[in-house]
Amino acid sequence: MVESDVQLFALHILKGINYVHSKKIVHCDIKPANILLKPVKSSSILGCLMPNGFEPKLADFGLALRKTSDEYGDGCGFARGTLLYMAPELLCSGNLDYCADIWSYGCTILEMFTGKKPWSELGRDFLGKCLEKDPQKRYDSMYLLEHKFFASIVGHSY
């Protein structure tokens, strides 16, 4: 995908993640196969011209956990999701938190970029914030929504 299309899809996916996280839910399986493309009647959403008239929607909450649930407990001992998109801390120690979703989101955005070389500096910086190995340093959805990567999208305002 071209970077401008990736930006638009990435923004809408991230807003979905931010909404899910605001409800104290960790999705646990963000990946391209769990992003559905919904046809929209108008090709403009929030003032943004959507590529091919589709809006991405976060789907498949089968592995999701509410952080306030008894099952979640202290967030330790979980290794759930799709291996290729799983955060390092989830694989190594089973620590599950919102930052694991951000890692998976970064992997998803990286997959959208496949074939487009070189990446812009903004794209690299944005992905670096998503794919930071240290979960304490990985950006959360609120900070990512303010990243300059989305600045050129007309009508973007969180």
Catalytic residues, by residue number, are 29
DSSP 151: T
Pairing state of beta strands 35-39 and 54-58? antiparallel
Paired tokens of 142 = 């609120």
List CB contacts of 128: < 8 A, sequence separation 6 or more: none
β-pairing, 65-66 vs 25-26, is: antiparallel
